[in-house]
Amino acid sequence: MSASLLLPPGSTIGILGGGQLGRMIAQAAASLGYRTHIYAPETNPPAAQVATATTTAAYEDRDALARFAADCAVVTYEFENIPVEPVSFLAELLPVRPNPRVLRITQDRLNEKDFLARIGVPTTRYRGVSAFARLAEVVAEVGRPCVLKSSRMGYDGKGQAKIVEESDIATAWRQMGASVGIVEKFVDFAYEASVIVTRGLDGGMSCFVPVQNRHENHILAETIVPAPLSPEAQAQAQDLARKIAEAIDLVGILCVELFVGADGALLVNELAPRPHNSGHWTLDACVTSQFEQLVRAICGLPLGSTERLADCTMQNLIGDQVHAWPEILKDPRAKLHLYGKAEARPGRKMGHVTRLLGPVTAL
């Protein structure tokens, strides 16, 4: 890596989005001597509580974006549902990592599946549908049971409807709630897993160990580290992540969400080009966290070690679960992370706790 490409400590990293991921990116950046500038439409978002500077403005406000860019040396984003146009505008002014093309692919489920198909990555059977009049035909092509998902803006189970033999497709279309969707064949998987890959400016890559994810009401409830995959399947998961990262020309971090079949076969479900909830355990159980890896990657620094220091579980604290913090802190091996959100609403991620379980399990 040329020294001219290294962003020196003291430089300012711009972060689009002010949620808990932006907060933990800012904390990791500070530990390496960087300043951070949050850009978000919300007043007093969690990330602003730990950042050097904050701009509160709409993502479409080009004057505010230009002022933000003038204060930053590089920009990244903490979630993939930011409109592409403002990100492309910023990319004309300074480096944005990952680049807007990555965002354009991953924020649209149909674009994402088409990209994966082009590079030969296994996914479930799928078809796009742009009008209700074609839904019955598309469902027949894919086969029931299947899942109708909004092509854009869905997360944590929002914008989805499962279609089984007795389902009314008109009801499913209304539940999906968008004008363009994707119909995916339902996968009867053993469990869900994920693997996180980081790719630097020099093309070097590193992966964290694949993990198992358990959901409740479509929201990640618990991550189990490591996933109970065979050594061969673990290597395959990491190879798939590297293949995707290279093909998409990633500079930054990418989470690859997977379905694991009863036979151990892997199917890629979704991509997230930013730190991921299933990687929060790395803060406490790895030499380098996912957040520090992102900072290293976008600043042109050498990537850190992803060595796992302990097996562990990570539990999300959702809604009122956050009020258990006094009991959690009584466990000397529990590592509590609270996000600074004022109101514990149902379904809202308020924090997480990582519980270290002891020595690393041999693979």
Contact 317, 351 (CB under 8 A): yes
Q: What share of the chain is helix, strand, coil (3-state, %, to 5)?
A: 30, 30, 40
Each residue's pLDDT, cut to its tens digit, for the chain (363 residues) gives 455 579 999 999 999 999 999 999 999 999 999 999 999 999 999 999 999 999 999 999 999 999 999 999 999 999 998 999 999 999 999 999 999 999 999 999 999 999 999 999 999 999 999 999 999 999 999 999 999 999 987 665 578 999 999 999 999 999 998 999 999 999 999 999 999 999 999 999 999 999 999 999 989 999 999 999 999 999 999 999 999 999 999 999 999 999 999 888 999 999 999 999 999 999 999 999 999 999 999 999 999 999 999 999 999 999 999 999 999 999 999 999 999 999 999 999 999 999 999 766 655
Largest CA distance in the chain: 62
Same domain, 200 and 162: no
Query: Does residue 156 have a known ligand-binding role?
Result: yes
Same domain, 264 and 202: yes
Query: Does residue 291 have a known ligand-binding role?
Result: no
Contact 172, 161 (CB under 8 A): yes
Query: Does residue 160 have a known ligand-binding role?
Result: yes
Amino acid symbol at 116? L
Query: Does residue 80 have a known ligand-binding role?
Result: no
195 part of a folded domain: yes
Domain end call among 185, 213, 229: 185
Same domain, 70 and 56: yes
Residue 158 has a pLDDT of 72
Same domain, 181 and 301: no
89 part of a folded domain: yes
Distance between CA atoms of 331 and 345, rounded to whole angstroms? 25
Distance between CA atoms of 258 and 237, rounded to whole angstroms? 8
Domain end call among 164, 185, 206: 185
225 part of a folded domain: yes
Query: Does residue 184 have a known ligand-binding role?
Result: yes
114 part of a folded domain: no
Q: Which long-range contacts (CB under 8 A, 24 or more apart) does 228-232 make?
A: 229/193, 229/260, 229/264, 230/264, 231/363
Find the CATH number of the domain harbouring 50.
3.40.50.20
User: 226 preceded by cis ω (within 30°)?
Assistant: yes
Find the CATH number of the domain harbouring 208.
3.30.470.20
Query: Does residue 92 have a known ligand-binding role?
Result: no
Query: Does residue 155 have a known ligand-binding role?
Result: yes
Query: Does residue 159 have a known ligand-binding role?
Result: yes
Which residue, chain included where needed, has tokens 């409109």?
Answer: 83
Distance between CA atoms of 147 and 186, rounded to whole angstroms? 6
104 part of a folded domain: no
Distance between CA atoms of 326 and 336, rounded to whole angstroms? 10
323 part of a folded domain: yes
Q: Number of folded domains in the chain?
A: 3
pTM over 0.85: yes
112 part of a folded domain: no
Sign of CA dihedral 294, 241, 205, 284: positive
Q: How long, in residues, is the chain?
A: 363
> Token pair for residue 351?
């924090």
Same domain, 313 and 342: yes
Which residue, chain included where needed, has tokens 């509580």?
Answer: 49
Give the closest residue to 17 by CA, choosing from 159, 155, 181, 222: 155
Same domain, 222 and 288: yes
- Residue 233 backbone phi and psi in degrees, to 5: -70, -35
Query: Does residue 186 have a known ligand-binding role?
Result: yes
DSSP string, 76-128: EES-TTS-HHHHHHHHTTS-BSS-HHHHHHHTBHHHHHHHHHHTT-----EEE
- Residue 83 backbone phi and psi in degrees, to 5: -55, 140
Same domain, 204 and 322: yes
Find the CATH number of the domain harbouring 172.
3.30.1490.20
Residue 159 has a pLDDT of 84
Same domain, 213 and 315: yes
According to DSSP, the residues that pair with 55 across neighbouring strands are 39
Query: Does residue 238 have a known ligand-binding role?
Result: no
Same domain, 162 and 214: no
Residue 358 has a pLDDT of 75
Residue 154 has a pLDDT of 62
> Token pair for residue 292?
């520090």
Query: Does residue 44 have a known ligand-binding role?
Result: no
Same domain, 347 and 287: yes
- Show the domain range for 155: 125-185
Same domain, 324 and 276: yes
Domain end call among 96, 117, 149: 96
Segment holding 37, helix H or strand E: strand 35-40
Query: Does residue 59 have a known ligand-binding role?
Result: no
Give the closest residue to 147 by CA, choosing from 185, 177, 109: 185
Same domain, 272 and 354: yes
341 part of a folded domain: yes
> Token pair for residue 300?
């042109």
Amino acid symbol at 278? S
Degrees, nearest 5: CA angle 291-149-18: 30
